[in-house]
Amino acid sequence: MQELFTQTFKSLGYDIEAKIVKSNQEADFQCDDCFKLAKVYHKSPLDIANEVVNKLKEVKDFDNYFKEVNVSAPGFINIIVSDKYICDNLNNLMTKEIFGSTKENHTIVVDYGGPNVAKPLHVGHLRPAIIGQAIYNILKYKGNKVIGDVHLGDIGTQMGQVIYGLLQDFPNTKPADIKITLDYLNDTYPKISALCKENEEVKNKCLEITKELQEGNKDYQILWQKICAISVQDIKRIYDYLDVHFDYWYGESDAHKQFKEMLAFMEKQHVIKIDDGAKIIDVKEKDDKIEMPPCLIQKSDGAYLYATSDLGTIWQRVKEFNPDEILYVVDGRQNMHFQQVFRAAKKSHIFEGVLQHHGNGTVNGPDNKPFKTRAGGTLKLEDLLKNVKEEFINLREENKRMDDEDIDKIVGAIIKFADLQNNLERNYIFDIKKFSEVNGKTGPYILYTYLRINKIISPNIKKLSSQIYSQTDRALRLKLLEVSEVLDLASKERRPHYIAEYLYELSVVANNFYQNNKVLGLTGVKQDDFNTILNFNNNIIKALLGLLGISIPKAM
């Protein structure tokens, strides 16, 4: 249709790629291009619109496309498409391998998750994991080669703190013989971390251990490996529960191995400056609206920084994956860090591709501030998940009798849909009650829609006839046709919320269809048509839920 409009414009001497958009008037679609053309060709938009519609009506297969095309002042073109057009397009879409209209073929690294070893995951780790995994799934679905890397924070000061704790608790045991448990870790890190805040001497000792560890102290490395093994196992357990999986479990320590080579390369580019004994890269640009501090590469005492780790990681990714793009799903409050790192990477020519930070917003408590426990501490992610599960089970008597695997799937749907329906940089208030409702813009509503339809369909899919049987039938079919555009947009902008929003809209029209049409006890073509439409509806829901990382329970 877009093409037909473009051709018609061109045949009248108007040079424009037509844009057909969804209409919120009486029509299905509309074209607003006449306003743009009016400025260029110094005519009234209304005259151009009439000219175009008259020309369109001369097209041989006009009736195949349209039920009606008319003009409304001051120059809109309103389009009501024919039933045949809708059915033909649906038949075509149903044979497609993927629902998006275009395939992509880029190599993209997605850096998401970003947990820190030796500390339990907390609420702040929820969004980077869920959004990152959804973006990963979407880009892969579109045909890209996608590489997911968790980027563990495995060599920061928390490591020095835990090792300090171990040296205190096991002063006479050889590092190789010290046994570390998860409980021990969970106690020790907060204990020593608190101690560092009051005791300068301990703090300095911990920093010293961290530095020696980074420089390769053998004893510390033995302990470090043990700590990593136990902590990472626990981190994996929780990501598994959320169905979040990574291709690579590289950490900052892997980046450290790249520093020598990378720094030598950077020196050759003459981008590194010495400032008060520290190595920095100046990343100011002349159009900057805010102050851009230099990117700190190495402190005067020789210690490397967070930015150095990210640059070393880019260096490694270029060597190993040669990506077109590296995308970071990390808390939006780290934006300045990433701007500095990206500029330093460009300036030193370690990577010429696209670097993008998708800074996520926070999960907030009822006070609209980042979520805390009642006592004011950070809430462990595991506790949040447990709370949601408990709330869901207590919501209705029937829920208590549900299959545990199904409950976990619903818990996943509640959390993920709540999260992904928000544009990723927005903060949102975590309201378990609201998110668990079966009515409203929630995960359970989408699941319920799917399961209800699933009960009455048979897998016997036929080619659709050209007939549409009611307004609600028509509305559902038009909505189904939107799927390609939605997928293209979500993938192009790397924003899963478009898919969540569409899933909700689709569920609303699907429920309307179900309520307003007799779908059971039919025979003949009508039965086949309805069965096929509902099958297609559920195929789309299932595929899109899958992209959002949401699994469907057997029943609810």
238 binds ligand ARG (CB under 6 A): no
**Angle, CA of 391, 393 and 397, to the nearest 5°:** 125
76 vs 342, which CB is nearer to ligand ARG?
Answer: 342
Q: Transcribe 65-79 into DSSP letters.
A: HEEEEEEETTTEEEE
Q: Which residue is nearest to ligand ARG (CB)?
A: 114
d(CA 455, CA 8): 46
Instruction: Give 341-403 as a DSSP string.
Output: HHHHHHHTTS--SEEEEEEE--EE-TTSSB---TTSSPPBHHHHHHHHHHHHHHH-HHHHTS-
The CB-of-243 to ligand ARG minimum distance in angstroms stands at: 20
Q: Give strand pairing partners of 122.
A: 380
| φ, ψ of residue 330 in degrees (nearest 5) | -140, 145
Minimum CB distance to ligand ARG, residue 301 (Å): 22
Q: For residue 373, report the phi and psi dihedrals to the nearest 5 degrees.
A: -75, 170
Give the H or E element holding residue 6. Answer: helix 2-11
- Which of residues 173 and 335 has its CB atom nearest to ligand ARG in the complex? 335
> Would you say 100 or 323 has its CB closer to ligand ARG?
323
Question: Contacting ligand ARG (CB under 6 A), which of 84, 122, 140, 151?
Answer: 151
Residue 547 CB, nearest approach to ligand ARG (Å): 23
Is residue 459 helix, strand or coil? coil
Minimum CB distance to ligand ARG, residue 329 (Å): 8
Pick between residue 87 and residue 230 the one whose CB is nearest to ligand ARG. Answer: 230
Pair of tokens at residue 536: 């297609």
Q: Which of 410, 427, 425, 420 is nearest to 441 (CA)?
A: 420
Judge whether 390 and 361 are in contact, CB under 8 Å: no
Cβ neighbours, 10 Å, residue 467: 12
Nearest distance, CB of residue 341 and ligand ARG, angstroms: 8
Residues in binding contact with ligand ARG, number by CB under 6 A: 8
Site residues for ligand ARG, 87-146, by CB under 6 A, read: 111, 114, 116
Between residues 328 and 502, which has the closer beta carbon with respect to ligand ARG?
A: 328
Binding string, residues 310-339; x marks residues near ligand ARG by CB under 6 A? x-----------------x-x---------
CB of 479 to ligand ARG, least distance (A): 37
Q: CB nearer to ligand ARG: give 51 or 111.
A: 111
Nearest-approach distance from CB 225 to ligand ARG, in angstroms: 19
The smaller minimum CB distance to ligand ARG, of residues 120 and 153, is found at 153
Residue ranges binding ligand ARG (CB under 6 A): 111, 114, 116, 151, 153, 310, 328, 330
